Amino acid sequence: MVADTGIYVRAADDPVGFWAEQAGALDWFRPWETVLEWDLPFARWFDGGTLNASVNCLDRHVAAGRGDRVAFHFEGEPGDTRTVTYADLLTEVSRFANVLLGLGVRREDRVALYLPMIPELPVAMLACARIGAVHAVVFSGFSPGALRERIEDAGARVVVTADGGWHGGEAVALKANVDQALAGGPPVDAVVVVRRVGRALPVVMVAGRDHWWDELLRGDDPMVGGPPSEVCEPERMGSEDLLFLLHTSGTTDRPKGIMHTTGGYLTQVAFTHRAVFDLRPDTDVYWCAADIGWITGHSYAVYGPLANGATSVLYEGVADHPARDRWWSVVERYGVTILYCAPTAIRTFMAWGDHFPAGHDLSSLRVLGSVGEPINPEAWLWYAGVIGGGRCPVVDTWWQTETGAILVSPLPGVTTTKPGSVTFALPGIGAEVVDDHGRPVDVGNGYLTLTRPWPAMLRGIYGQPEHYRQTYWDRLEGRYFTGDGARVDEEGYLWLLGRVDDVMNVAGHRISGIEIESSLADHPSVAEAAVVGVSDPTSGQAVVAFVTLRSGSGPPTEALGVELQDHVSGQIGAIARPRTVIFTDELPTTRSGTIMRRVLRAVAEGRPLGDTTTLSDPSVVEEIRVRARAAAREP
């Protein structure tokens, strides 16, 4: 149930006018001529208008006298802290923007950012935005191979990285990964290296290509003639000019560079960040715990909060370093009022026990957000009760890399919530659950679709224009296909049921099964591999790989299983590492040769198989079932 606040009614009567009103909250150099031009599946929002994202995130707050407000309370994993005000951030961004210009980066050029969660990451993003360059952030947990693929796909000219980052008490070698990614591969003009872990890791600098961030900023690097100016004139960007690319997994083995443009994106992330978290920028201390390497961090750790002049916490490391109460000590130390995180984190904290949060004063918390995967009612209630002390509304927010901003969520104090439900579409958004034929489902299960364009929607897939329409708009005519199953209950509440394609959601990270399969198939011992996501009590889903070996590659051993797990971690990153590898002589296929992943998922979860009449050889499944049981018994 939604209390009558008028905002839903106004937006439903005139969604386009509603978004124009929200866009009016930004600073534009030149106003737009048209609010929306919609030629399915191509949208142009606020066309003719010009603006700069960094000006909206920084200059206008400083100009309004809020330069002394803290933008980021940074806390590194080892416990080092930095306080970055809006005035500081504007200076840092302007200086680094001038460094980028000095390195030859121009409007529309792509810059890859492979950095830990340190202030230099938002600085580099906003510096790109300031000069009209397009950032492509690559999650720092990705391997050199995954990094190379993204640098190549984006055609990045410059890579910004760090010597390393702190993760669970260890320095993770980022610069060495960049060296590996670039070896014999994509030609880049420059690599800029932030000194983060210092002596903890040796770094080899390639002459003529590699530059230290601090030397560039001091003017000590021969590439730049003296220290960069603290003033950088912002580019006047068209509303539909690219702001960034962010790669995500889909149903192919190739990551998709999701394209986001400037005016619509900024309009919607700013609006949703205010509305969904009931933001009070003068007093709130907001913490989005997601990594900036994912869309959650782009929209709700950088652009949304900064556009709104909010004060945020930025934390570098893991949740259990040095102890399992790290998050709660952060909440207490900074007086966090709004916390935004993933159900996996919540379930992990639940499993660790209530005494960790109980040891800290969490009374500053006011609003709790959840994102990335379905949250089970038990975890929802624990979050609300143990973390929120029963006084904080919980907002479960549904959206995607492609949607750019939150589309489905309660509004605190407005929407009556039900634990486990994302409730309703936000004002200005058309969401509908439909059946296979695209007919709306009043009550029951179906596919979640979007019926109208929205300002922060993706504008395409970089370098793969044909896949944009095919993937999102051709499945159900006239609608955007989200790939998610959903249920509508008797009162119209929405409940997310997970992906309906071969995309997995492991700990809130979208991972392509096909990508892992092709990584496994790369291994000399592997003949064929099939990968499925099976339900896991903590991470939501876990990766299980079924592998057949090449003849002559020897017997399937435990050591080979570990080698294959390491192979995937090495090629893609630890997030894609299969939890279990099950060796089998054959994979179940249909008579036409398609691997039946549905059957494998059932086997791995120990469920009944359902209809197997289309299997070419049902006895194959029996053998796999026996092996899967054996694998489940292994420690």
Q: List residues binding ligand WT7 (CB under 6 A).
A: 248, 294-296, 371-374, 396-401, 422, 482-484, 496, 499, 505, 510
C-beta closer to ligand WT7: residue 7 or 500:
500
What residues are paired with 380 via a beta bridge? Answer: none
First-to-last alpha carbon distance for the chain, in angstroms, is: 46
Residue 73 CA to residue 50 CA, distance in Å, equals 31
Where do the DSSP E strands lie in 316-412?
Answer: 338-341, 367-371, 394-397
| CB of 426 vs ligand WT7, minimal distance in Å | 13
| CB of 499 vs ligand WT7, minimal distance in Å | 5
| CB of 542 vs ligand WT7, minimal distance in Å | 16
Give start and end residues of each alpha helix (H) in 76-233: 86-102, 120-131, 144-154, 174-182, 213-218
| CB of 402 vs ligand WT7, minimal distance in Å | 7
Helix-helix angle 558-571:513-521, to 10 degrees: 120
| CB of 152 vs ligand WT7, minimal distance in Å | 21
- Of 412, 419, 422, whose CA–CA distance to 373 is shortest? 422
| CB of 194 vs ligand WT7, minimal distance in Å | 26
Residue 609 CA to residue 299 CA, distance in Å, equals 41
In the three-class reduction of DSSP (H, G, I as helix; E, B as strand; rest coil), residue 394 is classed as strand
- Of 539, 541, 540, 521, whose CA–CA distance to 530 is shortest? 521
Residue 198 CA to residue 85 CA, distance in Å, equals 25
Give start and end residues of each alpha helix (H) in 7-131: 7-13, 15-23, 53-54, 60-61, 86-102, 120-131
C-beta closer to ligand WT7: residue 140 or 400:
400
Residue 287 CA to residue 300 CA, distance in Å, equals 9
144 prior amide bond cis, ω within 30: no
| CB of 248 vs ligand WT7, minimal distance in Å | 5
Q: Which helix (H) or strand (E) holds 238?
A: strand 237-238
Rg (Cα) of the chain, in Å, rounded?
Answer: 24
C-beta closer to ligand WT7: residue 496 or 600:
496
C-beta closer to ligand WT7: residue 285 or 371:
371
Are the CB atoms for 343 and 536 separated by under 8 Å?
Answer: no
C-beta closer to ligand WT7: residue 360 or 487:
487
C-beta closer to ligand WT7: residue 334 or 472:
472
| CB of 251 vs ligand WT7, minimal distance in Å | 12
Residue 33 CA to residue 600 CA, distance in Å, equals 54
Phi, psi of 627 (to 5 degrees): -65, -35
Residue 106 CA to residue 100 CA, distance in Å, equals 8
Other beta carbons within 10 Å of 162: 27
| CB of 482 vs ligand WT7, minimal distance in Å | 6
| CB of 42 vs ligand WT7, minimal distance in Å | 21
**Cα dist from 326 to 4, 149, 292, 320, 350, whole Å:** 40, 34, 19, 6, 14
In the three-class reduction of DSSP (H, G, I as helix; E, B as strand; rest coil), residue 55 is classed as helix
C-beta closer to ligand WT7: residue 197 or 367:
367
C-beta closer to ligand WT7: residue 8 or 380:
380
C-beta closer to ligand WT7: residue 94 or 249:
249
Measure the CA angle with vertex 180, ends 516 and 75; round to 5°: 85
Using DSSP bridges, classify how beta strands 158-162 and 509-512 pair: parallel, antiparallel or unpaired: unpaired
C-beta closer to ligand WT7: residue 201 or 434:
434
| CB of 513 vs ligand WT7, minimal distance in Å | 14
Residue 248 CA to residue 599 CA, distance in Å, equals 26
C-beta closer to ligand WT7: residue 126 or 346:
346
| CB of 486 vs ligand WT7, minimal distance in Å | 9
Are the CB atoms for 297 and 290 separated by under 8 Å?
Answer: yes
Using DSSP bridges, classify how beta strands 431-434 and 285-288 pair: parallel, antiparallel or unpaired: unpaired
By CB atoms closer than 10 A (0-12, 13-18, 19+), residue 226 is exposed
C-beta closer to ligand WT7: residue 67 or 255:
255
| CB of 495 vs ligand WT7, minimal distance in Å | 9
| CB of 497 vs ligand WT7, minimal distance in Å | 8
C-beta closer to ligand WT7: residue 37 or 278:
278
C-beta closer to ligand WT7: residue 362 or 405:
405
